[in-house]
């Protein structure tokens, strides 16, 4: 009897955190000097399947030395076409199919001898085989009853459901994950599909449903290798029935690696979108075509019109490239403001004006514009509205709220007063006056003469003033105090504050 040197190993681990039950973690296939391991890294929930040869993780589909491995989306399927061997491995377990013509009375190990005897003396029972009822009372999940219902009745005469029912009840009573009952149903449905019976059983459950993407539909008995645009005529493909998500009618896979369903065969662009042969399109500022001869997308950078040279007239502007708003793939040259190129600001404003920073239209650098303050200005001094402005003894002046249309300052309003009032105010100021030709004042304990119009500062107070004025032929002295406008020195930078020319008030320069 010929030997085929095929070895299959099962690596099982405890898969329930409470009960002492095991699950197949991996299937190891050794054939024709090739060692392939099918592994599930997640035994609870959705499977995380991987194929490894040696230490290298394989990208599917894979074919080498007479061994082919594909993924149906739910399961991994390893086939050896020469021997008609199929091994299915997934989240719910595994199935090993060996043809009798090659392996009849030609196997050994835990599965026993392959002799078509449905009750062989095997060391490893089939699904549910030799399973003893649980010693503790247990109400199995209602899904287990589906196996013996009208749903699977057509398959009962081909594949007896007894052992699958026992396996379902065992999982239901010993596994914390209620979805584990789906394993027995899927295993029985898979066995039925191999005898040509396709059963849509998942629609009768809530725990076992499978969701597919928008471009695919669930099929319980689809081909293990779905047709693709890359298929070669008369190529030997795996037609083992399996359940999974398949392209809708009228579409097929672009290739096995992409998983994209297309209406017509052609190319896939860089974003994964299908393109027809000879289709011209734009992608990421490139002009592309789906080349039929190469069966691939060929792209070249989009050709943009020549950029018109731009000269920046102002040295504070720099030339930069920006996207064209009408065609973002192309660029234009524009002059952009670079404020670091602007000269320092050193302009000072006159009394009564405040500096305002502004950028003129079409300019880059800010400029200082002097704008009138809301004050009155008299003799180079600012006065707030409502304050008294010191002038001669013959007038009384105030800063009003009326705006001068020419200067834009507030107007100063002055009125003449009677001589008697001037004399009274002079006497109260403790300064003596009279003389027909000049005024006589006591300054620092010494009498001094003061000519008409001359102002003498007081000794003790820097803002006190004594002025000699002639009224109706009489020389009269008047003492007054200069009123300084409000000034907060904390708002000024060091070195920008000094006294006014008359030495009385602080001003900002």
pLDDT at 16: 67
pLDDT of 403 over the 50 cut: yes
Same domain, 342 and 403: no
pLDDT tens readout for residues 75-125: 888 999 889 898 888 876 788 888 888 888 788 777 777 777 765 444 444
CB atoms near residue 460 (< 10 Å): 6
Which of 340, 356, 372 terminates a domain? The answer is 372
Q: CA 152 → CA 10, 155, 159, 161, 420, distances in Å?
A: 29, 6, 10, 9, 130
Q: CA 225 → CA 190, 243, 395, distances in Å?
A: 16, 11, 112
Same domain, 308 and 364: yes
Is 432 among the domain residues?
yes
> Which of 8-17, 423-432, 491-500 ranks highest by mean pLDDT?
8-17
Q: φ and ψ at 499, to 5 degrees?
A: -80, 150
The proportion of the chain whose per-residue pLDDT surpasses 70, expressed as a percent, equals 86
DSSP single-letter state for residue 211: -
pLDDT of 23 over the 90 cut: no
Is 419 among the domain residues?
yes
DSSP single-letter state for residue 161: -
pTM: 0.52
Q: Report the alpha-carbon distance of residue 18 to residue 13 in Å, rounded.
A: 13
Domain that holds residue 245: 210-263
Predicted confidence band at 165 (pLDDT cuts at 50, 70, 90)? Answer: very high
Is 505 among the domain residues?
no
Is 290 among the domain residues?
no
Same domain, 218 and 366: no
Same domain, 102 and 161: yes
Q: Report the alpha-carbon distance of residue 483 to residue 18 in Å, rounded.
A: 95
pLDDT at 128: 39
Same domain, 12 and 112: yes
* Length, in residues, of the chain: 509
Cα 118 from chain centroid (whole Å): 60
The proportion of the chain whose per-residue pLDDT surpasses 90, expressed as a percent, equals 18
pLDDT of 162 over the 50 cut: yes
Greatest Cα-to-Cα distance within the chain, rounded to the nearest angstrom = 157
Same domain, 57 and 152: yes
Same domain, 56 and 29: yes
Cα 458 from chain centroid (whole Å): 74
Which of 372, 398, 413 terminates a domain? The answer is 372
pLDDT of 353 over the 90 cut: yes
Same domain, 344 and 408: no
Is 269 among the domain residues?
no
Q: Report the alpha-carbon distance of residue 484 to residue 482 in Å, rounded.
A: 6
pLDDT at 496: 76
Sheet holding 62-64, edge to edge: 62-64, 67-71, 75-80, 85-90, 93-97
Which of 204, 238, 255 terminates a domain? The answer is 204
Could you tell me the two tokens for 163?
């052992």
Could you tell me the two tokens for 58?
């394989």
Same domain, 184 and 87: yes
Mean pLDDT calculated for residue range 59-82? 87
Same domain, 192 and 43: yes
Half-sphere CA count of 50, side-chain side, radius 13 A: 13
CATH of the domain at 215: 2.10.25
* Contact between 261 and 249 (Cβ < 8 Å): no
Mean pLDDT calculated for residue range 266-295? 88
Is 273 among the domain residues?
no
pLDDT at 35: 92
Same domain, 366 and 389: no
Cis peptide bond prior to 23, omega within 30° of 0: no
Same domain, 55 and 177: yes
How many folded domains does the chain comprise? 4
Is 279 among the domain residues?
no
């Amino acid at each position: 009897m010929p030997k085929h040197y095929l070895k299959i190993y099962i690596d099982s681990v405890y898969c329930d955190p409470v009960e002492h039950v095991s699950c197949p973690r991996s299937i190891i296939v050794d054939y024709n000097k090739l060692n392939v391991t099918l592994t599930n890294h997640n035994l609870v929930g959705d499977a995380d399947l991987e194929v490894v040869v040696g230490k290298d993780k394989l990208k599917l589909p894979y074919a080498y030395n007479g061994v082919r491995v594909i993924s149906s989306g739910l399961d991994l399927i390893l086939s050896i076409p020469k021997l008609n061997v199929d091994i299915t491995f997934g989240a719910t377990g595994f199935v090993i199919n060996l043809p009798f013509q090659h392996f009849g009375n030609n196997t050994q190990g835990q599965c026993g001898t392959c002799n078509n005897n449905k009750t062989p003396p095997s060391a490893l029972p089939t699904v549910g085989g030799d399973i003893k009822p649980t010693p503790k009372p247990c109400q199995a999940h209602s899904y287990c009853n589906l196996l013996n219902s009208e749903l699977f009745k057509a398959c009962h005469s081909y594949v007896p459901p007894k052992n699958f029912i026992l396996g379902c009840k065992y999982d239901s009573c010993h596994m914390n994950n209620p979805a584990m009952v789906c394993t027995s149903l899927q295993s029985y449905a898979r066995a039925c599909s191999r005898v040509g019976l396709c059963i849509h059983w998942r629609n009768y459950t809530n725990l076992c449903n499978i969701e597919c993407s928008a471009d695919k539909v669930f099929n319980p008995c689809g081909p293990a290798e779905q047709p693709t645009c890359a298929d070669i005529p008369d190529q030997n493909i795996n037609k083992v029935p399996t359940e999974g998500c398949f392209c809708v009618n009228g579409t097929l896979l672009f290739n096995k690696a992409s998983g994209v369903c297309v209406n017509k065969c052609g190319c896939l662009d860089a974003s994964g979108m299908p393109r027809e042969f000879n289709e011209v399109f734009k992608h990421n500022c490139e002009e592309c075509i789906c080349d039929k001869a190469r069966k691939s997308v060929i792209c070249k950078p989009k050709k943009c019109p020549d950029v018109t040279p731009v000269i920046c007239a102002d040295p504070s502007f720099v030339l930069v490239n920006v996207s064209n708003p009408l065609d973002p793939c192309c660029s234009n040259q524009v002059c952009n403001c670079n404020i670091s190129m602007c000269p320092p600001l050193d302009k000072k404003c006159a009394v009564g004006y405040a500096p305002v920073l502004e950028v003129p239209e079409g300019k880059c650098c800010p400029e200082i514009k002097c704008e009138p303050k809301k004050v009155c200005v008299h003799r180079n001094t600012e006065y707030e509205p409502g304050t008294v402005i010191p002038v001669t003894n013959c007038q009384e002046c105030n800063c009003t709220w009326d705006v001068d249309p020419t200067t834009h300052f507030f107007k100063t309003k002055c009125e003449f007063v009677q001589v008697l009032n001037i004399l009274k105010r002079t006497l109260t100021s403790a300064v003596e006056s009279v003389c027909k030709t000049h005024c006589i004042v006591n300054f620092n304990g010494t009498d001094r003469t003061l000519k008409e119009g001359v102002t003498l500062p007081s000794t003790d107070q820097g803002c006190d003033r004594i002025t000699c004025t002639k009224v109706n032929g009489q020389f009269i002295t008047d003492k007054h105090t200069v009123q300084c406008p409000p000034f907060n020195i904390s708002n000024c930078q060091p070195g920008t504050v000094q006294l006014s020319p008359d030495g009385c008030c602080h001003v900002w320069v």
